[in-house]
Amino acid sequence: MTKLNKLGGVVVAALCVVIVAACSKKEEAASAEILQFIPAESPYVIALLDEWPEDLVEKMKPQVEEMLEAYQVVIREGLITQLDAVPDDSDDKQDAERVKAVLEELISMLSSEGLEEIGIDKHSKFAFYGNGLLPVLRIRVSDPALFDAAIERMEGKAGHQMETATLDGKTYRYIEDEDGRLILGVFGNYFVGTVAPSSFNDEQLKRVVGLTLPENSMAKSGEIAAIAKEYGFTKHFVYLIDTRRLAEPFLGTPSGLDVDFLQLVEYDASQISDVCRQEFRGLTEIAPRMVAGYTTINADRIDSTLVLEMRDDIAAGLKTFAAPVQGLGADSGSLLSFGMSFDLMAIRSYYEAQLDKLEAEPFKCEAMAQLQAGVASGRQVLDQPIPPIVYDIRGFNAVVDDIVGLDLASSKPPSNIDATLLLAVKNAPALLNLGAMFSPEIAALNLQPDGKAVEFTPKQLAGQIETIFVALNDDALALSIGDGASAEASSILQASTSEKMPFMSFTMDAKRYYSMVGDAMLAAPDDDVEGLSPEARDAMRKLMVIGGEMYDRLSLDMMFTERGLELESTVTIGDGK
């Protein structure tokens, strides 16, 4: 597939850049029309189905325009510079020149005006999905003639026209070799990009590009609506990966379009033994589906959730992993915070139970032999002696309120840091007493589990760090430095524990973070960033500065629930200043 890899693949990648940039404006029309083209059994779907709120679009529009301009520079300097580096006497030089010309045309489209000139406007809808295993990129265009004219301009710049063919009287372009055909065309009001086996006849191709609609589509099945209802997603965006549907063509007897596709990649499912087939199917049931969507979207914030659904018994076991940690999962408004919670005894018990299952019902598939052999080494890990007090540790929560004087450009360390670290321990006084046995300094603190902060500066850190304040209660030990350290050490001990009990949590003042990094990049000497031209470095710096204007705060929580692994994120939108 030489031609597809050299020219067509880059063209499609570049088209994806333009289309994703367009859809990042989030001005999609409220419609599920595009779902009629997606088979109900599609193994993967990423689709934007509805407009973002108008006030959110208007709020972000100035920054989006600036970002598109900066991306033009980054793409040009990143990709085109590589193409220019192809030696003149190389067999790839001609293809490189063609791709370069196409990229230049595509880059010029990265603006609101440029996108509208090719038929991508606020009413466009976007979907990337599997027609069987075949990938299909589909985007609605306002005027098919505009998009077709854009492709003609790219062909003119490249000095090479793609081959053309027709389906039901509709012309499409393609690049082909003996194995596959890269198809680019406008069918009805949709641009479609896909790859299909060269052996496909017209009837099969019509099913791929959507001229023949699937008998049962996502629009008819209601799966997308059901996912949205179950998880509280809005109708704007959907993300779906079904591992069972992805695996079945490789494990069972492929059907429909997958028959020729698997022949294209020279895959023969008959070589899999029945026992392997059964056990592989069992593995797909461990995490059968991944879904994601927005739960809130307005001019102030965007909340989203991603769920890796898991088998009930697996989810129930993983749900025991987390533990209560003071303040974890709450956004205190700090510069940044990060923490984890864990019940080490529960994790050990779950791991041991899985080893028991593998011993009681070992894998018989030869491909799983290495995994099965790992049971013995797993037992050895469990046999290692661990002090009982280690199992009392439940996690930590690190909070950085402020950093003063940090100069990333000159590698200058901060002159002051306001930060607090909480270590959650089931029996915190016992841990402190253990430390006192080995450190006279700790013993001299006479720290009581009353939450009152005590000044403490280890000799090893004298002159290197400000005074540390430590505080203790029955459930945690806190250490704090910087302004107000005494109060912060006591305060974090009183923070509530989240009912969600996240396994991992992260929050950040995105506005200040991006501004700090952007300022540092602006101040950095040009030769500090290797491999980038001055123009590309300036564009990268600009993107960071724009990020500081566009976003305010960001938070991410990872949790184990009865549904599986869940990631909840929140982005609050800045005021553009």
Read off the DSSP letter of residue 429.
H
Give the phi and the psi of residue 321 in degrees, each rounded to 5: -70, -35
Give strand ranges (E) for 155-266: 163-167, 170-176, 180-187, 190-197, 237-242
Cβ neighbours, 10 Å, residue 564: 22
Question: Please, are residues 73 and 67 in contact by the beta-carbon 8 Å criterion?
Answer: no
How far is it, in rounded angstroms, from Cα 407 to Cα 215?
61
CB 117 within 8 A of CB 123: no
Q: What's the burial of 361, exposed, middle or buried (CB within 10 Å: 0-12/13-18/19+)?
A: exposed
| Residue 180: pLDDT band with limits 50, 70, 90 | confident
CB 493 within 8 A of CB 479: no
pLDDT per residue as tens digits for the range 47-84: 988 878 888 888 888 888 888 888 888 887 777 777 77
With cut-offs at 50, 70 and 90, classify the pLDDT of residue 7.
very low
Quick one: what percent of the chain has pLDDT higher than 70?
89
Count of C-beta atoms within a 10 Å radius of residue 17: 18
Q: What is the pLDDT of residue 222?
A: 92
CB-count burial class (<10 Å; 0-12, 13-18, 19+) for 94: middle
Beta bridge partners of 194: 136, 183
Q: What pLDDT sits at residue 122?
A: 67
Mean pLDDT, to the nearest integer, of 479-487? 91
512-524 b/e (C-beta count within 10 Å ≥ 16 → b)? bbbbbbbbbbeeb
Q: Name the helix (H) or strand (E) containing 49.
A: none
For residues 500 and 83, which has the higher predicted lDDT (pLDDT)? 500
Distance of CA 173 to the CA centre of its chain: 33
Helix (H) or strand (E) holding 537: helix 534-550
Residues 273 and 163: their CA atoms lie apart, in Å, by 42
Most confident of 397-406, 489-498, 526-535: 489-498
Mean pLDDT check: name the lowest of 153-162, 207-216, 345-354, 355-364. 153-162
Q: Which two tokens stand for residue 549?
A: 């204007």
Nearest of 44, 50, 74, 269 to residue 135 by alpha carbon: 44
Split at pLDDT 50, 70, 90, the class of 40 is very high
Task: Calculate ∠ Cα 22-25-27, nearest 5°.
Answer: 100
Q: What is the pLDDT of residue 283?
A: 95
pLDDT of 12 reads 44
| pLDDT tens digits, 304-354 | 999 999 999 999 999 999 999 999 999 989 999 999 999 999 999 999 999
Alpha-carbon distance values, 311 to 193, 308, 322, 503 (Å): 35, 10, 18, 19
pLDDT confidence of residue 409: 58
From 337-351, 454-468, 489-503, 545-559, the region with the lowest mean pLDDT: 454-468
What average pLDDT does the segment 404-414 reach?
Answer: 67
pTM, rounded to two decimals = 0.86
Measure the CA–CA gap between 537 and 518, rounded to whole angstroms: 11
- Cβ atoms of residues 375 and 358 within 8 Å: yes
Strands 237-242 and 454-456: unpaired
- Which of 258-272, 336-350, 396-410 has the lowest average pLDDT? 396-410
- What pLDDT, in 10s, does the model give residues 419-478? 999 999 999 999 999 888 888 888 888 899 999 999 887 766 665 666 789 999 999 999
Evaluate whether 506 touches 568 at the Cβ level (below 8 Å). Answer: no
What is the pLDDT, as a whole number, of residue 523?
62
- In this prediction, residue 10 carries a pLDDT of 43
Compute the distance between CA of residue 509 and CA of residue 555 in angstroms, rounded to an integer.
9
The model's confidence at residue 6, banded by pLDDT at 50, 70 and 90, is: very low
C-alpha span between 298 and 69 (Å, rounded): 25
CB atoms within 10 A of CB 349: 13
The contacts found for 380-385 with CB under 8 angstroms, 24 or more apart, are 382/348, 382/351, 382/352, 382/355
User: Alpha-carbon distance 82 to 99, whole Å?
Assistant: 11
Contacts of 443 (CB under 8 A, 6+ apart): 436, 437
Q: From CA 40, how far away is CA 18, in angstroms rounded?
A: 28
pLDDT at 1: 40
Residue 524 pLDDT: 60
Eight-class DSSP state of 8? I
The DSSP 8-state label assigned to residue 438 in this structure reads H
Q: How many CB atoms lie within 10 A of CB 81?
A: 14
Token representation of residue 289: 């589906």
| E-strand stretches of 412-563 | 416-425, 454-456, 468-472, 476-481, 504-508, 551-561
Rounded to 5°, the CA angle 364-369-373 comes to 115
Is the model's pLDDT at 519 over the cut of 60?
A: yes
Q: How far apart are CA 422 and CA 477, in angstroms?
A: 6
Token pair, residue 169, equals 């009287």
Instruction: State the Cα–Cα distance between residues 351 and 95, nearest whole angstrom.
Output: 53
Average pLDDT, the chain: 85
Measured between alpha carbons, how far is 276 from 274 in angstroms, rounded to an integer? Answer: 5
